[in-house]
């Protein structure tokens, strides 16, 4: 019988509480044994059986810990992951992987030297809407895709007092939602020829970017990545045009909403709200598409299998490095107000 993988979660803010802890505990073969947090009462109200750690040293020096999950503010990811890898732990880092591509490459090299699994938590790969869209695109049901538009719009007009909305490295919407949209685009279409980005602040009192509109240029295909905090009327999640048909997808995958409500994957009440999608062909009535259920557990199942030598890393560092290069290029484009050519192939 394979022994369970003992997991330490570093950070118990929104990401740790909502996305990581409940999903980890829902995956057979993983056991969440400790959480590093300055608020032990908050942890124990959700997970009374979990030990609360006081420091990272306490975790990395514990020989019983196999996997360290980093769910802390973006500007701490590199240093915490480096220390965990140097201690011989397997590591999961929440997105974005790091602040800079050179940090991402350093962690990739360190994980390889240590012989440890290093994965990045790109959970939106396992949204039901994206799973469905990817299958339709890869099956060729739309013909050759010539235009792809991906939106993650919200209506949050009031600036909140939280690190994501304060000035500083790694804050703002591009480093919050950009990694999701860009990662999905790279999975679907590979490395673009060039990027043009408009990143800015639109809300009164904004101190970090709350809007982005990014264009990825391919030989024929154009990809638009868009997010804003000021969209009161909503927008389609995906719009895809091919040479034979179009796909329009409305609504967000319901897993985040269910997790925020305190539901846990696998429980009887776990029934996340679905989305809707429509396939449109010339001179034909719109055809409804069955949207497959999403499942964030598949990421951690992949991590478990990779650690045990039974499967590939679900989000390997080489993919995360490439994504960081794209995020940086888009920032450069926005600052210089010009298109940035992207050399090399993925």
Q: Which two tokens stand for residue 342?
A: 């992207």
Strand order in the sheet with 5-10: 51-53, 30-36, 5-10, 67-70, 90-94, 118-121
pLDDT for 1 equals 58
R_g over Cα of the chain? 20
Q: Which two tokens stand for residue 101?
A: 């591509």
Beta-carbon contacts of 105 under 8 Å, excluding residues fewer than 6 positions away, are 321
Alpha-carbon span 186 to 64, nearest angstrom: 37
Give per-residue pLDDT as tens, 2-44: 789 999 999 999 999 999 999 999 999 999 999 999 999 999 9
Alpha-carbon span 275 to 288, nearest angstrom: 11
pLDDT for 340 equals 97
CATH of domain 124-294+326-341: 3.30.360.10
For residue 297, say if its preceding peptide bond is cis, omega within 30 degrees of 0: no
Alpha-carbon span 216 to 182, nearest angstrom: 9
pLDDT for 318 equals 96
What average pLDDT does the segment 150-155 reach?
Answer: 96
- Is 80 exceeded by the pLDDT of residue 329? yes
User: Strand 222-228 relative to strand 145-151: parallel, antiparallel, unpaired?
Assistant: parallel
- Is 90 exceeded by the pLDDT of residue 199? yes
Alpha-carbon span 185 to 246, nearest angstrom: 17
Q: Which two tokens stand for residue 229?
A: 């905090």
pLDDT for 268 equals 86
Beta-carbon contacts of 155 under 8 Å, excluding residues fewer than 6 positions away, are 229, 230, 231, 232, 234
Q: What percent of the chain has pLDDT over 70?
A: 99
What average pLDDT does the segment 171-180 reach?
Answer: 96
CB atoms < 10 A from the CB of 38, how many?
10
Whether 203 contacts 334, CB under 8 Å: no
- Is 90 exceeded by the pLDDT of residue 62? yes
Q: Which CATH superfamily is domain 5-123+298-315 in?
A: NAD(P)-binding Rossmann-like Domain (3.40.50.720)
The domain segmentation of the chain, as residue ranges, is: 5-123+298-315, 124-294+326-341
pLDDT for 346 equals 43
């Amino acid at each position: 019988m394979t022994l369970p993988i003992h997991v330490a979660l570093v950070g118990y803010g929104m990401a740790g509480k909502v996305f990581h802890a409940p999903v980890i505990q829902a995956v057979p073969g993983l056991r969440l044994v400790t959480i590093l947090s300055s608020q032990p009462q908050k942890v124990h109200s959700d997970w009374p059986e979990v030990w609360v750690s006081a420091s990272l040293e306490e975790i990395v020096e514990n020989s019983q810990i196999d996997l360290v999950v980093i769910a802390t503010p973006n500007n701490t990811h590199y240093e915490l992951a480096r220390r965990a890898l140097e201690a011989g732990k397997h590591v999961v880092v929440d997105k974005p992987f790091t602040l800079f591509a050179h940090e991402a490459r350093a962690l990739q090299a360190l994980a390889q030297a240590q012989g440890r699994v290093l994965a990045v938590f790109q959970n939106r790969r396992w949204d039901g809407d994206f799973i469905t869209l990817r299958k339709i695109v890869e099956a060729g049901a739309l013909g050759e895709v010539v235009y792809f538009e991906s939106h993650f719009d919200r209506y949050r007009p009031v600036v909140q007092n939280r690190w994501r909305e304060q000035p500083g490295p790694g804050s703002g919407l591009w480093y919050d939602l950009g990694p999701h949209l860009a990662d999905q685009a790279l999975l679907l279409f590979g490395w673009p020829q060039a990027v043009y980005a408009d990143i800015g602040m639109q809300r009164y009192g904004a101190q970090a970017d709350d809007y982005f509109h990014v264009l990825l240029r391919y030989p024929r295909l154009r990809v638009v990545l868009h997010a804003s905090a000021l969209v009161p009327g909503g927008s389609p999640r995906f719009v895809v045009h091919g040479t034979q048909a179009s796909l329009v997808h409305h609504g967000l995958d319901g897993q985040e909403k269910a997790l925020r409500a305190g539901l846990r994957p696998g429980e009887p009440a776990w029934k996340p709200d679905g989305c809707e999608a429509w396939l449109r062909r010339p001179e034909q009535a719109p055809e409804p598409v069955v949207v497959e259920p999403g499942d964030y557990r598949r990421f951690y199942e992949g991590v478990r299998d990779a650690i045990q030598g039974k499967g590939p890393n679900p989000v390997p560092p080489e993919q995360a490095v490439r994504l960081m290069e794209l995020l940086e290029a888009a920032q450069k484009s926005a600052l210089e107000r010009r298109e940035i050519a992207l050399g090399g192939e993925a």
